[in-house]
Structure 1
């Protein structure tokens, strides 16, 4: 998993509440277990009309093509527990989502996939949404180590994050990475077990 330390990037505004995981990535795009190629289906219903023709959507505008931060409304990621939702965001380059609240499963899945989901009070989210309306000038810095967000005007917002999840993101540790950190202890256990219970390895 890619480390998350400090991210300076364009922030895109998505001031919608109750964006569920089917809006993030519709079910018809879930036919793969690969984490790549999912950006095509990201927010598909918001990016296309009923005939599948592209409509004006914030992430398709030239100013936000390189956006890596998404500022959204409350209850982001509600609905089904599909892990493809954070996969699709990540495949599109989104590394941080800021909202007043998240659905629990989506929130947890973000951390496991290298995305930082930040919960902020509505008034601070509104300020960042206003900043994000500046297009290519909506450059925001999210510093995980100092737990601060710096806006384009130089203002600063502090945020809280669980210490263990912070450690995992700073070090690029997903569930597999956390297990591999204990590889010496696992190897030691297996060596002792081979001596005490050799029939298990016959």
Structure 2
């Protein structure tokens, strides 16, 4: 998993509440167990028309936001079913951070396990950043995980809270496997000791 430390990027405004995981990645794309390749189907039903062509009105299809790395969203982002494909699709598209007033718990935790930083800010601060995001590439937002701040294009700084363990994992690029591998030496030592103490096992 890639480390997350500081990110300065374009933020896409998505002023919708209750964006569920089926909106993020519809169920027909859940057959794969690969983490790559899902970005093209991110927000599929909003992003494409019935004939398969791009919907020119959807934010991520507009030139100013095609390279967005941050999404500024409404309340309860990531609600619905607990599909890990949702953060996979966001990450594969290039999204590394989401800013919203609240998230569904399972989606929130899945983000951290996949290298995405979900930031919780009060509604008025999200509203201000949403207005900034509407300016597209002309208004870049900076996220500093170590400092736990979001800096708006005009220099306004917003502080966010984050669990210390989740912060440690993101800063160091540690998913569940990475956390286990940190203990590899202790595990090897234990297994060697067990083999010597109980060779019949």
**Cα RMSD between the aligned structures?**
0.8
TM-score by length of 2: 0.98
Instruction: State the alpha-carbon separation in 2 of the partners of residues 98 and 38 from structure 1.
Output: 21
Residues 1:108 and 2:106 aligned together:
no
1:154 is matched with which residue? Answer: 155
The offset of 1:23, in angstroms, is 0.2
1:193 is matched with which residue? Answer: 194
2:135 is matched with which residue? Answer: 134
Q: Secondary structure at the match of 1:178?
A: helix
Q: Secondary structure at the match of 2:34?
A: coil
1:2 is matched with which residue? Answer: 2
2:24 is matched with which residue? Answer: 24
Instruction: State the alpha-carbon separation in 2 of the partners of residues 16 and 51 from structure 1.
Output: 25
Which runs of structure 2 are paired with 1:1-202 in the superposition (5 Å)? Answer: 1-55=1-55, 56-200=57-201
The offset of 1:135, in angstroms, is 1.2
Instruction: State the alpha-carbon separation in 2 of the partners of residues 54 and 91 from structure 1.
Output: 18
Structure 2 runs not aligned, ≥5 long: none
Instruction: State the alpha-carbon separation in 2 of the partners of residues 80 and 137 from structure 1.
Output: 35
Structure 1 runs not aligned, ≥5 long: none
* Per-residue CA distance 1:120-158 (angstroms, 9 max, x = gap): 110000000000010111200000000111111111100
What is the number of residues matched between the two proteins? 200
The offset of 1:41, in angstroms, is 1.1
